[in-house]
Structure 1
Amino acid sequence: MRRAVVLTVAGATLAVAVLLAIGGVGDDPNKLTNWQALALGVVQGFTELLPISSSGHLILVPWLFDWTYLEQNDAFNQTFDVSLHLGTCIAVGAYFWHDVVELVRAWLGTLRSRSISTPSERLAWAVVIGTIPAALVGFALEDVIADHLGDPWQMAILLAVFGLLLGWADRKPADDGLDRVTVRKGLWVGLAQCLALMPGVSRSGITITASRFLGLDRDASARFSFLLLLPITLGAVLFKGLTDVVLADLPSGTTGPFVVGVLASLGTGLIAILGLLDYVRRHTYDVFVVYRVALAIAILLCIATGFRSATF
């Protein structure tokens, strides 16, 4: 997508979200409000696509501002979280539409020819193979992760540790483009993606880190990370949408927050993609490393001073 088109679509989407929030359309002030959904959607759009952990931020923002509804309604919280991911999934799909169509055609072509030979075919299979590990681990350990991970003190440690790991990987000599991605590299990045199930690690952060260690340049690492987001997120959205929305009843007064959250994450997601790709063509990932470490220190200070508790 051209830059002007991206910014126009992003601006229009965010404007609609703000107008719905101003009007309080479809929300309940005693539950999750449209304004809170707007804030979380903006957070999701930026943090899912930047290497700074969306799951961590979606937990930390309500923790910091003492928004208790999501904490007290865990089932709704998980469904709302997936709806926010729908917005970023649409953003990535729209931005990389031509790439996605090319990869789907290439993948279908390998099924007919029973061979993998071109760069597009290798990349298509790398995305497929790279999706499988996290999908299996997430399905098997969803409840375990939800019950034992996600406390603020844990996220502070993971933000710092994996931020420093990103900085280390980014200093490795690496100049391969997407045309050098292999199925084997896709598997290794996919295995690394499993770590992102822990809030604070960052899906984009760990996949970019793994890609840099495997020799991809900064631009290719970011693009490969974005492409890996599509199948894993789309699968989660479809599964949760069927089980938690179609086959279950959402609480009244939550339609507005769902719509506002999706629109906000879509708009900011487009801006984040454009901004990150422009930035890493000229700079290192150091700014994200510094941010992650600084945020980790801020979280620990909030806990140490008693401003917020270390757990939920």
Structure 2
Amino acid sequence: MSIWQAIILAIVEGLTEFLPVSSTGHMIIASSLMGINELPITKIFEVNIQFGAILSVVVLYWRRFLQGFDFYLKLLIAFIPAAVLGFAFNDLIDAMLESVLITAIMLLLGGIVLLFVDKWFSDANKERVNYKNALVIGFFQCIAMIPGVSRSAATIIGGLTQGVDRKTAAEFSFFLAVPTMLAAASYKLVKDLLKLEISDLITFDLVKIQNSFEVITADDLQLLLIGNLVAFIVAMLAIRFFITFLTRYGFKLFGYYRIALGFLLLALMAMGVDLRV
């Protein structure tokens, strides 16, 4: 992977992670078209640069993260459903993540839903998320375990079903992304990419930990640092854009975009393009 390819992937991650358009679908297309989807470093890179995107939320909303116990309790309540189901059905989720077809279909279906969301929830006007709302949003987040659904889309729609307005629902989705993405990315990095068990970290098995990093070269570390920096900057810009756009115009444009992207994935598959997650 070249520096320019790393920068392109990081831009894609930063732009799409917090928008309701499915970052998975975009990463599949970007890495496949650049011919780097089979490189071992690509999967490590795609997981690792999520940390840069996560940091953008903390920096943008740092005052919110200093609010205290109530704020974190709501995040914990919303986080628990995905944590439990993710652990219980890890193998099934991994199997679905390998399917580009599922990703394409869910992009299409999710796009159709977004065309009508503004009309369905036009009366949503609550500016606060309570504990019950947080739990419901947490269950909606579980739907995003299906690739192509979009964690952002699922959680924002979950908030709208509870009468929460678009801006507040979107911001809570960003906040919830921090523990959710941090846990998922860390677990995947340790177990699937570094081939370590949690017990190896708890017991601090230095030999296993050191051996696990032998697949990552100094050049790879440079790419990871650049990727996280780019993803961090782009995600900050994307979040600011999304909040402004969503408040003014709603979801319909994102719906049309998802439908077009889903058809593009299906067309590339029909043309025999090697698409892999």
TM-score by length of 2: 0.84
Deviations along 1:236-281, one digit per CA (max 9) or x if unpaired, are 3444566639822142231122112111110110001110111122
Question: What is aligned with 2:51?
Answer: 86
- Over 3 Å counting, the alpha-carbon distance change for 1:86 and 1:36 in structure 2 is same
Deviation at 1:161, TM superposition (A): 0.8
Q: CA RMSD in A?
A: 2.3
Deviations along 1:169-228, one digit per CA (max 9) or x if unpaired, are 32222333332x121111111111112122211110111111122211111111111011
Deviation at 1:143, TM superposition (A): 3.4
Deviations along 1:92-142, one digit per CA (max 9) or x if unpaired, are 00001001111xx1x1xxxxxxxxxxxxx3x54332111111122223333
| Structure 1 contact 165–209 (Cα < 8 Å) conserved | no
Question: What is aligned with 1:131?
Answer: 79
- Over 3 Å counting, the alpha-carbon distance change for 1:126 and 1:163 in structure 2 is farther
Gap runs ≥5 in structure 2: 202-208
Q: Paired residue for 2:244, among 255, 273, 278?
A: 278
Q: Write the distance in 2 (CA, Å) between the matches of 1:53 and 1:176.
A: 26
Structural mapping, 1:153-192, within 5 Å: 153-171=101-119, 172-179=121-128, 181-192=129-140
Asked if residue 303 in structure 1 is aligned to residue 272 in structure 2, the reply is no
Counting matched residue pairs gives: 258
Gap runs ≥5 in structure 1: 1-31, 108-120
- Over 3 Å counting, the alpha-carbon distance change for 1:183 and 1:167 in structure 2 is farther
Q: Write the distance in 1 (CA, Å) between the matches of 2:117 and 2:72.
A: 24
Deviations along 1:131-178, one digit per CA (max 9) or x if unpaired, are 111122223333332234343222111001122223333222233333
Q: Write the distance in 2 (CA, Å) between the matches of 1:79 and 1:311.
A: 14
| Structure 1 contact 51–202 (Cα < 8 Å) conserved | yes
Question: What is aligned with 1:99?
Answer: 64
Which of 291-300 and 247-256 deviates more? 247-256
| Structure 2 contact 28–276 (Cα < 8 Å) conserved | no
| Structure 2 contact 96–147 (Cα < 8 Å) conserved | no
Structural mapping, 1:29-108, within 5 Å: 32-70=1-39, 73=40, 76-102=41-67, 105=68, 107=69
| Structure 1 contact 153–300 (Cα < 8 Å) conserved | yes
